[in-house]
Amino acid sequence: MNESFSVEPAILGRDLKDIEKYGSSGTAYIGKVVMSSGEKPVLGRKVLVDVSRPHLILVCGKRGGGKSYTLAVIMEEMARLDPVIRSRVSTITIDTVGIFWGLKIPAGQNDLKDLSEWDLKPEQTNVKIFVPKGQLAFYQEKKLPIDGAFTLKCSELEETEWLALFHLSWNDPEGILISRIVQRVKEKVGTYYGIDELIGAVKSDTDAKEETKQAVISRLNLAKSWGLIEKDGTKISDLATPGAITAIDVSSYRQTVGAEGIKDIVVALIGKKLFEQRMLFRKEEEIKLITENKRASKMPLIWMMIDEAHMFMPKDEANIALPVLLEWVRVGRQPGLGLILATQRPEKLHPDAISQCDIFISHRMTSQPDIKAVGAIRPTYMTTDLDKLYSEMPRQKGYALIIDDNTEKVWMVKIRPRFSWDASVTASAFLI
């Protein structure tokens, strides 16, 4: 990590050939290299992270360590990419805490000093914040700056998703009934139906017991009250538009009893749709290449950012979003799907998310099981004495170790201050 002063930025996640060809364009300026020890270390050259190609970036660190803040910095950078590159990139963030609306508001007076030390100014960022339709009024009442509502298209929920949503299994009488109903309605009306049609089909079912029917109807009514699942759902293409930075706020369901599974379904469906869309794009591209012998426009890139990723990709539990995200992790890079996962519990995260990541950003970690989980899956990190590096890390917020597989180097970095309002300080006050 010792390095001399240099004015050239360090570009992580990009090989030399690409650096020669593209320089620093298509990168995110996330911080500066720490040059000395102590609590107020000397900072050196800029640290840029390549976002022009898909990567799997894992952001770790204990609670309050700066993970969400770092995600916000990356989102700010996505919005400031060169216009040509930006028009080929869509960023979609799953906001589990309800904090990324702060990006729309310039940083306040308290942050001016930090920003000016970095030669930066408060600025708003052009992000689009979507909340579940059923929660729209709540957000509007609180005067939170949001751009619109989203819904899921009822017919896009397969039997497995309904089971997950209601915490049912294939063996439960209710599970059997809901699966049968979904199939039946699909066969009968195709893809245009809502929860009312499902309730109607339950009522006219002649095979199930009355109590089972009532149990399923009450669950479906509950699902209706969430205001999320409708005949017409939001088109994924409206969420992931080229050049746009979108945050999907799923935080409001945290407080709703029985609705814990909703955020999982949202991630599962969005992840699945984006994956399918990319695969289709690739196929069309290949066909063009064969039939017209020409390469279509370059593959647009999709970045999905997931805060609190251990909730969707747990190690020892089932989760409806898990298989979808594992696809992203394992084969997503080829069709242009980049993933940025943040978690305070690497020990609880599916090991593939650790083993496949190529850029590892770690804020301070103190829990030994979490440090071990990372070290055990990433042998290269074992040779680096993580414990020692964490102990050398300044205690103040915003410092991180970055391990880049591309350069096989470890960097101690101070994450740059945000341009925008840090809503994580105030979010809880809004959501009680």
> Is 417 among the residues that bind ligand ADP (CB under 6 A)?
yes
Considering beta carbons, is residue 269 or 359 the nearer one to ligand ADP? Answer: 359
Using CB under 6 A, pick the residue from 64, 148, 242, 369 that binds ligand ADP.
64
CA distance 173 to 169: 9
Task: Look up residue 154 and give its amino acid.
Answer: C
What number of chain residues touch ligand ADP (CB under 6 A)?
15
**Binding of Mg ion by 420 (CB under 5 A):** no
| Residue 46, H or E segment | strand 43-50
Q: How many Cα neighbours within 13 Å face the side chain of 340?
A: 26
Contacting ligand ADP (CB under 6 A), which of 13, 44, 54, 66? 66
Q: Of the candidates 74, 130, 424, 427, which one interacts with ligand ADP according to CB under 6 A?
A: 424
Does 343 interact with Mg ion (rule: CB under 5 A)?
A: no
420 near ligand ADP, judged by CB under 6 A:
no
Cβ-closest residue to ligand ADP? 398
**The residue to which tokens 């804020």 are assigned:** 363
67 interacts with ligand ADP by CB under 6 A: yes
- Output 212 or 424, the one with its CB closest to ligand ADP: 424
Closest CB 339 distance from ligand ADP, rounded Å: 17
Cβ atoms < 10 Å from Cβ of 231 = 15
Closer to ligand ADP at the Cβ: 137 or 425? 425
159 vs 307, beta carbon nearer Mg ion: 307
**89-95 and 56-60 beta bridge pairing:** unpaired
Q: Are 145 and 126 in contact (CB under 8 A)?
A: no
Strand partners, 11: 48
Q: Which stretch binds ligand ADP (CB under 6 A): 67-75, 84-92, 294-302, 386-394?
A: 67-75
Least CB distance from residue 263 to Mg ion, whole Å? 15
Exactly one of 29, 69, 100, 139 binds ligand ADP (CB under 6 A); that residue is 69
How many other C-beta atoms lie within 10 A of the C-beta of residue 85? 17
Q: Is position 398 an interface residue for ligand ADP (rule: CB under 6 A)? A: yes
- Could you tell me which stretch among 61-69, 235-243, 261-269, 329-337 binds ligand ADP (CB under 6 A)? 61-69
Q: In the set 41, 44, 65, 132, which binds ligand ADP (CB under 6 A)?
A: 65
Q: Is 61 near ligand ADP (CB under 6 A)?
A: yes
DSSP secondary structure string, 195-241? HHHHHHHHHT-SSS-HHHHHHHHHHHHHHHHTT-EESSPPPHHHHS-
Tell me which stretch binds ligand ADP (CB under 6 A): 17-25, 175-183, 269-277, 420-428.
420-428
Nearer to ligand ADP, 240 or 413 (CB): 413
What is the Cα–Cα distance from 167 to 219, expressed in whole angstroms?
A: 10
C-alpha to C-alpha distances, 98 to 85, 90, 131, 250, 382, nearest whole angstrom: 28, 20, 9, 7, 35
Q: Which does 26 bind (CB under 5 to 8 A by kind): ligand ADP, Mg ion, none?
A: none
Residue 397 interacts with ligand ADP (CB under 6 A): yes or no? yes
Interaction of residue 422 with ligand ADP, rule CB under 6 A? yes
Residues 23-82 contacting Mg ion, CB under 5 A: 67-68
Give the position of tokens 């538009």: 241
Residue 225 tokens, joined: 């009250």
Number of other CB atoms surrounding residue 155 within 10 Å: 19
| Contact (CB, 8 A) for 431 and 95 | no
What's 256's DSSP letter?
Answer: S
The footprint of Mg ion on this chain (CB under 5 A) covers a number of residues equal to 2
CB 75, CB 106: distance < 8 Å = no
The entry of Mg ion, ligand ADP, none near residue 415 (CB within 5 to 8 angstroms by kind) is ligand ADP
In the complex, least distance from residue 427 CB atom to ligand ADP, rounded to whole angstroms: 9
Is residue 425 at the binding interface for ligand ADP, with CB under 6 A as the rule?
Answer: yes
User: What are the φ and ψ backbone dihedral angles of 333, each rounded to 5 degrees?
Assistant: -65, -35
Q: For 198-226, b where at least 16 C-beta lie within 10 A, e where not — what string?
A: bbebbeebeebeeebbebbbebbebbbeb
The residue whose Cβ lies closest to Mg ion is 68
Q: Minimal distance in Å, beta carbon 380 to ligand ADP?
A: 24
> Which residue ranges make up the site for Mg ion (CB under 5 A)?
67-68
By the criterion CB under 6 A, which residues form the site for ligand ADP? 61, 63-69, 397-398, 415, 417, 422, 424-425
